[in-house]
Each structure stands twice: as C-alpha cells, then as structure tokens.
Amino acid sequence: MKRYLLTSIFALASAACFAVDAAVEPITSSDIPEMKKNALETTTAKSGFTYLRMGVADTQAHQVPEFTQGFFTPGLGLGYRAEMGPSAIDVSASYTYGYAEDKEDRSYYYTLPKVSYYRFMTPETKSSFYYGAGLAWGGMKNKAKSEFIGIVPSATVGYEMNRKSDWRSFMQLDVSQPALAAMKSGDFPGPMAEFSIGFGY
C-alpha cells in the first residue's frame, strides 16, 4: 500500500512538472517594447508614394558662356513613384519658368507626362542611390528664341532617403535631350540639365 501511494505521488509530481514546462510564459510589461520593435522591423515598407518636386533647370547648360541665359527658377512637379524591389516606375508632370521683362525672352520647360524607370543600387537599405531613364512629352522655349514640342528622352541619377518610412525624400539630377519634334521653331534645342528635391508620402 505504501509502495502504491509513493508511486502515485511521484507520478503526480512528474505530471505537474511537465505541465509547468509546457505552459506558455506570461507576457510582462518589459516584453512589450521588444514586441513592438519586432513588429516594426517586419512591417513591409510602402510600395509607392506621391510626391511634390521643386527644382531649377537650364536649357542651355551645354553652352557654358551662356549658362545663365536659360536658368529657370522655380520649377514645380507632381508625381507618383511605384517601387517593386530594386526597381521603380515614376510617372510625373513638371513645369519650370524663366521670367524676363521682354516677353520674347521668357523661357519655359514642361513635361506632361513623363514616365521613368529607376534602379536602386542598394534596395535593402534605408537610403540608396538610383539611376535610370525616362521618356516624356514636353515643350521648351529658351532665351535664344528656340521652341520645341515633342518627345524628350532623359537620363537620371538620384539619391532617395527614408525608404523604410511613410514619408520619403529624394534629390535628383535629370539630363534631357529633345529628340522627336511635333513642332519646332528656331534652332534645334540642345540638352537640358535639371536639379530637383522631392518630398512625398
């Protein structure tokens, strides 16, 4: 009888120990910050954002002695950038304007729309350089009284910041060359340089 009773006590003690080991540990207040941190780290970054872009452009940047003649300020643009892993598709519209007292000397440059493809150099990081090319329908007039409306291809290099957050920002340099004219007057325009800074959500 004593042996049976002793065996039963050992069996119950073993079962209790197993139950304690298998139980889920309770969550304490000290665990909550770590859980939040892990949740933020596993959250997927936004796949795209809408942005406002501000910049300056020069339609005569290839003519160094006349660099200031085509300088525009300010320039504004709106766009949407959809990111897919290491790549992005950017759709935008922009307008820059150069004022002069003589209306004949006033300048402008616009794209509506412009579609670009970008490739990020370090897509897994919070900030990354990128490069790419684009194609736009645009119009241009410079102070040399040269006007152009038509297809404008471009090459781009840039740097995008805060890629893992909702609010994004970037700096970008575009070099564009009018290529196929639907309407033109005066000399065929040369390449144009444009530097811009963008902010988006």
Tens-place pLDDT, residues 153-169: 999 999 999 999 999 99
pTM flag (> 0.85):
no
Which of 7-21, 43-57, 156-170 is predicted least confidently? 7-21
Q: Looking at residue 27, what is its pLDDT? A: 57
Query: Which single residue is written with the structure tokens 């933020």?
Result: 40
More confident position, 104 or 132? 132
CATH of 47-200, one of 2.40.160.20, 3.40.190.10, 3.40.50.720, 1.10.3720.10: 2.40.160.20
Structure tokens at 114: 């412009």
Q: Looking at residue 71, what is its pLDDT? A: 53
Neighbouring CB atoms inside 10 A of 170's CB total: 23
42 pLDDT higher than 70: no
Are 104 and 145 in contact by the 8 Å Cβ rule? The answer is: yes
Q: How far apart are CA 138 and CA 112, in angstroms?
A: 6
Structure tokens at 60: 């005569």
10 pLDDT higher than 50: no
Q: Looking at residue 33, what is its pLDDT? A: 55
Give the distance from CA 129 to its chain's centroid.
Answer: 10
Q: Looking at residue 21, what is its pLDDT? A: 44
User: Which residues is 151 bridged to in the sheet?
Assistant: 137, 180
Q: How far apart are CA 177 and CA 62, in angstroms?
A: 11
Are 128 and 114 in contact by the 8 Å Cβ rule? The answer is: no
Neighbouring CB atoms inside 10 A of 67's CB total: 13
- Closest by CA to 92, choosing from 176, 184, 185, is 176
Query: Which single residue is written with the structure tokens 């902010």?
Result: 199
Structural domain spans, the chain: 47-200
Predicted confidence (pLDDT) per residue in 62-100, tens digit: 554 444 444 556 799 999 999 998 999 999 999 998 877
- Closest by CA to 137, choosing from 181, 196, 191, is 181
**Mean of pLDDT over the chain:** 79
Predicted confidence (pLDDT) per residue in 173-198, tens digit: 999 999 999 999 988 888 889 999 99
Q: How far apart are CA 194 and CA 201, in angstroms?
A: 23
At 61, give phi and psi (nearest 5°).
Answer: -65, -25
